[in-house]
Amino acid sequence: MPTQNTYILAIESSCDDTACAILENDRVLSNVVANQKIHEQYGGVVPELASRAHQSNIIPVVEEALKLAKIDKKQLSAIAFTKGPGLMGSLLVGTSFAKSLALSLNIPLLDVHHMHGHILAHFIDDGQEKPSYPFLALTISGGHTQIVQVNSSSNLVVLGTTQDDAVGEAFDKSGKILGLGYPAGPQIDRLAKLGNPRKFEFPVPKAPDLNYSFSGFKTAVLYFLQRETKKNEDFIKENLEDICASIQYTLIKILFKKLEKAVIQTGIKQVAIGGGVSANSGIREHLKSMESKGWKTFIPPFEYTTDNAAMIGISGYFKFLNNDFAGLDTTASPRIHM
Ligand code: KG4
Ligand code: ZN
């Protein structure tokens, strides 16, 4: 452990949020996120608009993070940024900015895998108990659904992954069919609380081993709603809460079927969740309920679930401690593997 404090400025720009955080060791001093509202009217993220918005947001967001943290640029020890996966144009903005800042301040650069960030966010010092290695992480976001065995901060092994859509897409696409705005995940969560989860039954797709599949799910929702609205054109309006509760119930069932299998196969009973969809209250409750089966569960604080830069900062901090620096020739990698 270094005797001096380490100050890391972290940037996350992989999708549609421009974020900057400052960490003092494993403690977050500031965590600023600029959400891009522009995409709502299109029902999904428009990559070209996202990169343009990152360009106009990045300097104010970085300045705000430094101001809130009461840190001067000269005090920084390193710059961390999201290398991938994500949208090329969006990643390029953060990557180029991070490189120029590190170069101008003559400090090291740390390139971070976005999904490592979602997992290692659990190690941000927030007064909660931390998982110990090895543990299992279910990473659920708009782009990913994976079961990962985390052996250390740099040894993460993917045990299972989605073969098509991510669970976040299943939430968002089902919500789009229901006429909910983008992203629909949080709205389905809110409406599901008011509905009956057993009212309608949706199929649980088949996928081999510890893998997932969600593309058939949204098709099943689409066909179901087409059938029902043919009989009653007000079907969605009259049953919205029950439909949302039933969709969420099924998605939770799909996620936990494989997660339980992974716990049995590995014998690892410490289980963490991460990624935007881990903000879902039904998923959080269900995970907690598994403690009755002997699991020890870890749920990240709300502000570190959807995309943020604090998670990139903590991942960068571990790399810093391991002297695992990136060269200035590092590039944005939209499809980088774990
Ligand atoms: O991790 P994230 O912020 O961005 C990606 O890396 O994709 O995840 C965004 C996803 C979206 O699909 C959004 O609908 C979903 O997270 N999400 C939720 C909830 N909050 C965000 N899904 C279900 N329930 C929520 N409360
Ligand atoms: Zn994410």
In the predicted structure, residue 121 carries a pLDDT above the cut 90:
yes
In the predicted structure, residue 330 carries a pLDDT above the cut 90:
yes
Could you tell which of 171, 299, 312 is best to mutate to test the pocket of ligand 1, judged by most ligand atoms within 8 Å of the CB?
A: 171
For 50-54, 214-218, 272-276, which range has the lowest pLDDT when averaged over its residues?
50-54
Q: Do the beta carbons of residue 112 and residue 82 sit within 8 Å? A: yes
Q: pLDDT digit string (tens) for 155-190?
A: 999 999 999 999 999 999 999 999 998 899 999 999
C-alpha pair distances (Å), 187 with each of 63, 72, 120, 142, 184: 32, 39, 27, 15, 5
146: alpha, beta or left, given left = phi > 0 and alpha = psi -120 to 50? beta
- Report the pLDDT value the prediction gives residue 2, as an integer from 0 to 100: 53
85 Cβ inside 6 Å of ligand 1: no
- Ligand 1 atom with least separation from CA of 281: 26
Q: Compute, in angstroms, the gap from residue 141 CA to the centroid of ligand 1.
A: 5
The whole-angstrom separation of Cα 86 and Cα 150 is: 22
pLDDT band of residue 3 (cuts 50, 70, 90) is low
Q: Compute, in angstroms, the gap from residue 117 CA to the centroid of ligand 1.
A: 15
Helix (H, G, I), strand (E, B) or coil at 23: strand
Output the residue whose Cα is nearest ligand 1's atom 13: 185
Average pLDDT over residues 261-288: 97
- Ligand 1 atom with least separation from CA of 166: 12
Average pLDDT over residues 231-259: 98
In the predicted structure, residue 1 carries a pLDDT above the cut 60:
no
The whole-angstrom separation of Cα 47 and Cα 42 is: 11
Q: Taking the model in full, what pTM does it have?
A: 0.94
Q: pLDDT digit string (tens) for 65-102?
A: 999 999 999 999 999 999 999 999 999 999 999 999 99
Percentage of the chain surpassing pLDDT 70? 99
- Ligand 1 atom with least separation from CA of 175: 14
Q: Compute, in angstroms, the gap from residue 308 CA to the centroid of ligand 2.
A: 8
Percentage of the chain surpassing pLDDT 90? 88
pLDDT band of residue 16 (cuts 50, 70, 90) is confident
Average pLDDT over residues 96-111: 98
Q: Compute, in angstroms, the gap from residue 33 CA to the centroid of ligand 1.
A: 15
Dihedral Cα 178, 182, 183, 185, nearest 10 deg = -20
- Report the pLDDT value the prediction gives residue 284, as an integer from 0 to 100: 97
Bridge pairing between strands 109-113 and 156-161: unpaired
- Report the pLDDT value the prediction gives residue 87, as an integer from 0 to 100: 93
Those residues whose C-beta lies under 8 Å from the C-beta of residue 41, and which sit 6 or more positions away, are none
Q: Compute, in angstroms, the gap from residue 232 CA to the centroid of ligand 2.
A: 38
- Report the pLDDT value the prediction gives residue 41, as an integer from 0 to 100: 78
Q: pLDDT digit string (tens) for 209-235?
A: 999 999 999 999 999 999 999 999 999
